[in-house]
Each structure stands twice: as C-alpha cells, then as structure tokens.
Amino acid sequence: MPQGAGKFYFAGETAEKLDDRELNNRDLQVIMLAETLLIFLMLAVLTRSLKMPLYMVGTIILSFLAALGLGVFLSDALFGIDEISTRVPLYSFVFLVALGIDYNIILVSRFMEERNAHSLQKAVELAVAKTGSVISSAGIILAATFAVLMTQPVEILFVFGFIMAVGIFIDTFFVRGLLLPALLVWLEKDRKRAEDKSL
C-alpha cells in the first residue's frame, strides 16, 4: 500500500452478513472434509476394505446433496421460503451423514455376513430383505421426529426440520433400498467373477 494511503473499514448489517457467510463457508468445507475422512477411516477399519467405504461414503454425500437441493426447492415451491440460513446446510450435513452412516453399517454388515454363504446377488437380496423393516421403521420415526420442528414459528428450524425429513426419507427408501444395493451388485461383480475363476 502506498505511503500515506488510508484503509477502508466496512460496518453495518451488510458487512456482517458477508462475514458470516464467508465464515460459514469455511466451516462447512472444514467440517465436511474432516467428518468425511473420519467416517471413511472408521468404515475402512470396520469393513477391512477400501472399496466398501467408498460406496458407503459416496451414497451418503449424494443423499445429502439430493436432500439439500430438493428441500430448498420444495421450501420455495410449497411454503414460499425462497432463501435459507447459511447455517442450515452445515447442520443438515452433520446430522444426515451421522444418521445415514448408521443405516449403511446395518445393511453392509448384513451383506458381508450373507456373502460368506451365498452368491453376490443372493447376499444383497437377503441383506436388503432382513434389514429393510428395521431401517424403514427407524427412518419413518426419525423423519417424523425432525418434522416436528416444522411446527415451530422460527423459519430456520422449519427449513432445517423439513430438509432433514426429506433427507431421511431419501436415505431410507432410495439410497438404502435401491442405490447402495445396486452399487454392490454392479461394482462387486468383478470380484465374484475372479473368485469363480480361482475355483
């Protein structure tokens, strides 16, 4: 800066909103990265694999993005809320990932048990059938629990509760019921063929 030049400082509500948004964006990046890496490492230890955690973490991230996008769209279309708090994506990510990983572990653990005695496709079918009722029941109850926040007169709680309910339904019935089983059948197929050839 040239000698004698002054400095500009900005204050007021607009400057505070900008600072808050930049701080929140940084927090979101740091927390998303840290939580994702920690969950991946935990799943790698649990499954003793590197491929399985990739499927599980990948579906969780997709579920969160779908829930956030659909939740924001429906909040505007159904309730006339055309903007959300900068904190909602952060809170939603933390809760949806934490809850989604539980359902992933239930399904994949059962799949790995059934895989010891059955073919790939049969193991996936049995895993989905045996865990479906538990995951579906837990998802419905949990979605209803977060939907209770929509009764509050605070907009941020209303939107957060709605996005969480949408995300849990997506995670319960689409990701765990269709996407993850399809990925297991599709991406684990080469492994099965290799095992068959070795026999």
pLDDT in tens, 84-131: 888 899 899 999 998 888 888 999 999 999 988 888 999 999 999 999
- Stated length of the chain: 199
Task: Supply the pTM of this predicted model.
Answer: 0.83
Alpha helices in 48-188 (DSSP H): 51-79, 88-115, 120-147, 155-169, 180-187
pLDDT digits (tens, 9 = 90+) for 16-45: 777 777 887 888 889 889 999 999 999 999
Tokens representing 8 are: 């500009």
> Which numeric CATH code is attached to 13-191?
1.20.1640.10
- Residue 192: predicted pLDDT: 45
Nearest to 75 by CA among 169, 175, 164: 164
